[in-house]
Structure 1
């Protein structure tokens, strides 16, 4: 046997166990509407690790992102099904999970987003999902009224407000209806401001400025937070418009205040469910995870820069104050 052939044979035999091991690894298909931020990826991986799964060690992960082009999701979901993944993790909005559900009735699907999976047609009920879909939600669309009440307590002189929505997203219609009802109940004038991409943010905030908006609320669309860039918060600061936000990540980025669940824990819980399903549990028997604790975060740095005095009663209620 020639030396070159011998070395090649040794290399092949050494690689063979690793190749076999790779074939035995379960494969997770990750389907997202946009780029997942590190603050979401990190807890998701932590949830997987709670069940002993680590990417590259005993788990293969195939990533597919629509890059905020929702019409690409059905084809991307079909790719994951064709790859025969063990589980699909769908995140960013209900659309990735819907696309995955339409693509396969058998491969388990776990979602993580901020809406109502029952009304979005993903599960039969929270306690008994049925079918092949379950997951975790931070029910962000149900907290607009509470955030408006918080605004009234912090800025009682503000009566002109705005809701920033992505008209091309799937969450806009429901959140607009909820915001209009809450604003009417509180005697607030509400403006609906549209932005379907980051390139439209500047014009959106220029419009708010022209309308003399005293504060704004970003919707829970992935464009306004889940990508982790926080550009809408940067724009709000530039125009001097206080932001009443959905989660801590935006308050840290410079939003005046946030009220909502621990968003990172939603993704951790989703990771836990993926791990449990990989171990043999059925999604139909795993109730949809909902948040049980809601945190109030106040950014005093932003308040001082905007010349806003936070009432002491609100400060004492805060779970976290950023100074």
Structure 2
């Protein structure tokens, strides 16, 4: 609809979603966002409109964020760190709620978690902080592993976090008495090559880093882990649903719901600067028993007992 026509017909607030991926990416998770909106008194199609904008190339982020600001939406929902940074660069006045995986203070999005300041707030998963916990879980599942790999994407838009990740993970590995090998992969072929090389490096297990590209390649990664008999731990249950072994991370559905509640509050008149940045409210441990059996692994009863979901 032309912007002028929409401005004349506009009777309900408009949320502009800006997210990476092809149209419809993250669709099921948006159900959680809509649920949060409903809790705040807003129902899509009745008293709020959501316009969906999908970004398939990072070099288009700034332009698309500027276009969204120019369209006079009432609120921007920014998904992922790069999108949130682009949206912040496009406006200092349009209210924004973000959903990211990194540290919003270190990224320069907000002044502090408790007092964001400016025109944006939201939810962060602090995904990188959980890799040491994943290392611990993987060591429990594969106690004979003396070398564990961390698969990272060197082209991650937040590549500057790599030294911090490596330092924390090396410290966690030393504490567990295992060697940690950092393995890079930024394309489908590099993922193939990385898994093929793991046995020759005496690597017995692998941690998949938090990365949107890896998420898009979850079918490939889960299949390669099975083909090369390498136990792997992931950051989202969707990897396990695709045939992966185990995942540990925040509940994305719950976090999206938190973002929806915040969006509703902002539409209701609350300033983003008055809403502290939220952190994960729920973590999920998901185990694929069929994958474990195929790998010849005996899952410790303690892990099974604490799992939120066991896929048979």
Find out whether 1:99 has 2:89 as its counterpart.
no
Q: Partners in 2 of 1:102 and 1:313 — Cα distance?
A: 47
Alpha-carbon deviation of 1:107? 0.5
Cα deviation, residue 219, structure 1: 1.1
| Aligned counterparts of 2:43 and 2:219: Cα–Cα separation in 1 | 29
Query: In the alignment, what sits opposite 2:179?
Result: 189
Question: Counterpart of 1:89?
Answer: 77
Partners of 2:43 and 2:282 lie apart in 1 by 28
Give the superposed CA RMSD: 2.2
1:320 is matched with which residue?
309
1:119-143 alpha-carbon deviations (Å, 9 max, x no partner): 1111111111111111011211111
The residue aligned with 1:285 is 274
Q: Pick from 224, 240, 243 the counterpart of residue 251 of structure 1.
A: 240
Counterpart position of 2:63: 75
- Determine helix, strand or coil for the equivalent of 1:254: coil
- What is the CA deviation profile of residues 264-300 of structure 1, one whole-angstrom value per residue up to 9, with x for unaligned ones? 1111111111121111111111111112433322211
Cα shift at 1:88: 0.9
TM-score normalised to structure 2 length: 0.89
- What is the match of residue 3 of structure 1? none
Using the TM superposition, give the Cα deviation of residue 31 of structure 1 relative to its aligned residue in structure 2, in angstroms. Answer: 1.3
CA–CA separation in structure 2 for the residues paired with 1:77 and 1:210: 45
Matches within 5 A, 1:1-323: 22-35=9-22, 36-67=25-56, 69-92=57-80, 94-169=81-156, 170=158, 173=162, 174-225=164-215, 227=216, 230-323=219-312
Q: Matched residue of 2:198: which SS?
A: helix
Q: Taking structure 1 as reference, are residues 38 and 234 closer, same or farther at Cα in structure 2, changes over 3 Å only? A: farther
The whole-number CA distance in structure 1 between the counterparts of 2:149 and 2:265 is: 42
User: How far off its partner does 1:109 sit?
Assistant: 1.1
* Counterpart-to-counterpart distance in 2, 1:267 and 1:254: 24
1:223-245 Cα distance to aligned partner (Å, 9 max, x none):
122x4854322332232221111
Measured in 1, the distance between the counterparts of 2:166 and 2:310 equals 29
User: Structure 1 unaligned runs (5+)?
Assistant: 1-17
Distance 1:134 1:79, change over 3 A: same
3-state SS, counterpart of residue 32 of structure 2: helix
Which of these two proteins has the greater Rg computed from alpha carbons? 1
Is contact 1:193–1:208 with CA below 8 Å preserved after alignment? Answer: no
Query: Could you tell me whether the CA contact under 8 Å between 1:224 and 1:230 is conserved in 2?
Result: no
Shift in CA distance, 292/265, structure 1 to aligned 2, threshold 3 Å: closer
Change (3 A) 1:62 1:317: closer
**What are the Cα deviations for residues 206-228 of structure 1, in whole angstroms up to 9, with x where unaligned?**
23244342111111111122x48
Tell me, which stretches of 5 or more residues in structure 2 are unaligned? none
Return the alpha-carbon distance in structure 2 between the equivalents of residues 151 and 43 of structure 1.
29
SS at match of 1:79: helix
Q: Deviation at 1:108? A: 1.0
